[in-house]
Amino acid sequence: THFPYTNDTRKLSTLRRVVGQVSPCRRHSHTVRRYRSRAGMAEAGMKYISEVKNRFDAECGLLREEIRLLQLEVRSLVEENKKRDDERKKFQKLVLNILCSGAEKPSLSELPEAIRN
């Protein structure tokens, strides 16, 4: 494409519109290259941002799943601790009853499972 107005200020805006064309004027040819490289850098930047967002989303999903599993594990441990506390309280009551009442030894069936072994 030929630009009849080589020294006109409109040339720069025309060059920006026609990025794929090379300027016949050496004075403004760097403008086309600079505009092309900026457009390429913008595309590369957007691609990078998109990739980072996708990686972040994937990591977020993994972290959410890990948090969910940890919550289930904590719930299970809390239940286990409650059972242990109940057994400990029963055993303490049994020992206190034996000490206070002076009663005979209880049978094995009355003892908590952990103590029988």
CA distances from 80 to 4, 90, 92, 113, 117 (A): 87, 16, 18, 15, 19
Residue 1 has pLDDT above 50, yes or no: no
Boundaries of domain holding 77: 10-116
> Would residue 2 count as lying in a domain?
no
- In the chain, the number of structural domains is 1
**Residue pLDDT, tens place only, 63-114:** 999 999 999 999 999 999 999 999 999 999 988 888 888 656 656 666 666 5
Whole-prediction pTM value?
Answer: 0.44
> Would residue 5 count as lying in a domain?
no
For residues 11 and 1, the answer to whether their CB atoms sit within 8 Å is no
How confident is the model at residue 115, as a pLDDT? 60
> Would residue 33 count as lying in a domain?
yes
Determine the average pLDDT of the residues in 2-15: 52
> Would residue 1 count as lying in a domain?
no
> Would residue 75 count as lying in a domain?
yes
> Would residue 67 count as lying in a domain?
yes
**Residue pLDDT, tens place only, 13-66:** 555 555 444 445 555 555 555 656 666 777 878 888 999 999 999 999 999 999
> Would residue 3 count as lying in a domain?
no
